[in-house]
Structure 1
Amino acid sequence: MSETSTHTSSTLPRRQLGRYLRDWRTRAGLTIAEAAKLMEWGATTLQRLEKGQADRIRTIDIEALCRIYGIPDDIAEGLKGLAQQTAVKSWWHAYGDLIPEDFDVFVGLEASARRLTAYQCELVPGLVQTVDYARALNTLGYPANSAAELERRVQLRLQRQVLITRRHQPANLEVVLCESVLRRVVGSAKVMAAQLRHLADLSTLDNVELRVLPFSSGVPLGLSSGPYILLEFGADAKGQPVEPPVVYVEGFTGDLYLERETDVRRYRQAHEQLLRSALDISASRHLLRQVAKEFMV
């Protein structure tokens, strides 16, 4: 099937909108049939909206659903912003543009992933951060926040980690970390030592593969790809992807979501090259524990 004919009506913003609406409908204790009746719709109409397959989405309808489900105003604003996004394969989400800055689009996407493939050259990824590492980053990143708000941010980040640590069907995580991530001090030497030991311990899990790209490997790609996360969402009974894979590229003023097959393929190829240049899992674990000891000297 050609790239242009696949998932043409199922863009990422609309899928995220549908995912949030489905979750809030469930919280409200309503079936699709009951909610659709309140909207004076057929059940199929609401079902298509929840699957991100609605051809036409009206803001007034999203507002009505938000009222029915009891969705808080701040989240409702984010959902209305998602509803207004253009149907595109590559989506640049600028912070505060239509969608409020505090509305986290990525978290809902991440929670639905079955496999995450990541590369980081600056920071430890959020899914594998310790509480002290996360707190140190948030303190620097949100200096105007109160202590209570900072703690809320930290706890939200920790809650996301259940995705890979839960007993039932944990997501698979494959990460390549530049050696610079291990040696860049966040918080303090004590915080870094604990963080690196945590990474080493996590790498013993069956669903976690963590490799370090050492300084000695140079620049395997010949250019900088920047950090990225490739998210995949599993397959249905017929072996077809439940949703198309997405490459997430985090930016300072906004985030980029790439769905085009050519873009996803290029990131896959880049990751394969990074894996070939990285240490194997055992050697990476050894280096993590070695650098952790160095921080405590």
Structure 2
Amino acid sequence: MAWSTLLMRRAAPVRWRVPVATGLNASPIDWLRHTPMRTHAVTLDSMPAQSQLGNMSCEVDPYGLSSRPRSNETPAMALKRSLVPQSVYRRQLAARLKELRGATGLTLTEVATQLEVNQSSLSRIENGERGTTPILTRALLDLYGVTDEDQRADVLDLVRADKEQQKPWWRKYSTVLTPTRYDGYLALEAGATHLANYQPMLVPGLLQTEDYARTVITQMRNDLSQPQIEALVRVRMERQKSRLDGEAPAELWTILDEAVLRRTIGSAQVMRDQMRKLMEASEQPNITVQVLPFALGAHPGLYGPFVILTFAAPTPNLVWLENPKNSVYLESPSDVDNYATIFDQLRASALEPPKTRALTARISKELKE
């Protein structure tokens, strides 16, 4: 879905157009609201009781799950908020399997009994915490009375796609990605069709130059060796090629605070190169860049940076909040809608893209060695 004429709902209309291919005449946040949303975070009711876990046996594993119940296990995710992102396909698969089971009226306990599988494993599959196998999926479809071949094929395709997404291009960098859950974000970003990014402090990774990225990573990750820093720089550059170029690039809408342009990262030359890249990127049909000027004063974005990721239906949209050690994503409709409203307000207050480019060029010329 492409962005076209901007229609502001909560503020005065923005009187400019983004030069993109034909598409829906809608706000860039309308695609956030039009996608059906469902919450897949784990709740206490969906987790098996410890007494149940203790009585389960996993000696026979006909479906290839290879699971062992853990009586002292703490849920990996909390209500409305998750620390462990699932792949886009796994989220779709989890929702579909739960929907099919719900249509039959069967409980997880009944399904586990009839198929002789671990109820804990089934619960984790339906919550998107783990993948499944084609063998178990076929057994579930048989039990749920799904006989339509196209419908069965669609579900099995999700199983295979999820497995393939567990072998991404960034796996070779796992030693430097995993500690901050960066690999989890990459999995989500890889499947997103639209990205709405607000950043008050730094240029977003998808728009950074190599030198800018190297300086930022060096200063923010003083626990890393130089080879590890270089590995993260390569990840950042590969992300840009993967998500913003090619036949099906993502739509990126970025809002920056003026402080991002004013803060010297590295050197004046690094900043000039970075601002040149921002201006060039903003001319691309799938990229929009706006700046919130200092003169605006206080605004709703003072809470901090965030990214809203939109996926093709029926995958629900989510918000990513990055932290040094425990980055999280929010996926409840109320959370996503709240951040969508904030983004609406920010883009209404920010400079139009032409004025943003003019300000960026002026600040670049003002830089002194």
Shared fold, TM over 0.5: yes
- Structure 2 residue aligned with 1:244, among 316, 341, 366? 316
Between the aligned partners of 2:338 and 2:181, the Cα distance in structure 1 is 31
Tell me which residue corresponds to 1:119: 198
Tell me which residue corresponds to 2:311: 233
- Structure 1 residue aligned with 2:363, among 272, 291, 295? 291
Query: Which SS does the other structure have where 1:161 is aligned?
Result: helix
Q: Which amino acid aligns with 1:215?
A: F
Greater gyration radius: 2
Residue 147 of structure 1 deviates from its aligned partner by 2.4
Q: Which amino acid aligns with 1:276?
A: A
Residue 252 of structure 1 deviates from its aligned partner by 2.7
Alpha-carbon spacing, 1:144–1:243, altered in 2? closer, same or farther (3 Å): same
What are the Cα deviations for residues 82-133 of structure 1, in whole angstroms up to 9, with x where unaligned?
xxxxxxxxxxxxxx9xx75466211111111100001110011001000000
Between the aligned partners of 1:219 and 1:293, the Cα distance in structure 2 is 27
Q: Which amino acid aligns with 2:297?
A: G
Alpha-carbon spacing, 1:14–1:49, altered in 2? closer, same or farther (3 Å): farther
Alignment pair present for 1:191 and 2:263: no
| TM-score in terms of structure 1 length | 0.68
Contact 1:15–1:50 (Cα < 8 Å) also in 2: no
Alpha-carbon spacing, 1:268–1:73, altered in 2? closer, same or farther (3 Å): closer
Query: Which SS does the other structure have where 1:279 is aligned?
Result: coil
Residue 151 of structure 1 deviates from its aligned partner by 1.0
- Which of the pair has the greater relative contact order for Cα pairs under 8 Å at 6+ separation? 2
Between the aligned partners of 2:85 and 2:355, the Cα distance in structure 1 is 42
Residue 141 of structure 1 deviates from its aligned partner by 2.3
Between the aligned partners of 1:278 and 1:189, the Cα distance in structure 2 is 25
Tell me which residue corresponds to 1:174: 253
The CA RMSD measured in Å over matched residues stands at: 3.6
Alpha-carbon spacing, 1:251–1:128, altered in 2? closer, same or farther (3 Å): same
Percent of aligned pairs with the same amino acid: 32
Tell me which residue corresponds to 1:138: 217
Alpha-carbon spacing, 1:250–1:36, altered in 2? closer, same or farther (3 Å): closer
Query: Which SS does the other structure have where 2:327 is aligned?
Result: strand
Alignment pair present for 1:269 and 2:341: yes
Count of residues paired in the alignment: 235
Give the unaligned 5+ runs of structure 1. Answer: 23-34, 53-61, 67-71, 79-95, 235-240
Between the aligned partners of 2:173 and 2:198, the Cα distance in structure 1 is 32
Between the aligned partners of 1:195 and 1:247, the Cα distance in structure 2 is 26
Residue 149 of structure 1 deviates from its aligned partner by 1.8
Between the aligned partners of 2:216 and 2:173, the Cα distance in structure 1 is 24
116-125 vs 286-295, which deviates more? 286-295
Give the unaligned 5+ runs of structure 2. Answer: 1-35, 43-81, 94-131, 141-154
Tell me which residue corresponds to 1:148: 227
Tell me which residue corresponds to 1:260: 332
Between the aligned partners of 1:73 and 1:215, the Cα distance in structure 2 is 41
Correspondence 1:62-77 to 2 at 5 A: none
Alpha-carbon spacing, 1:111–1:215, altered in 2? closer, same or farther (3 Å): same
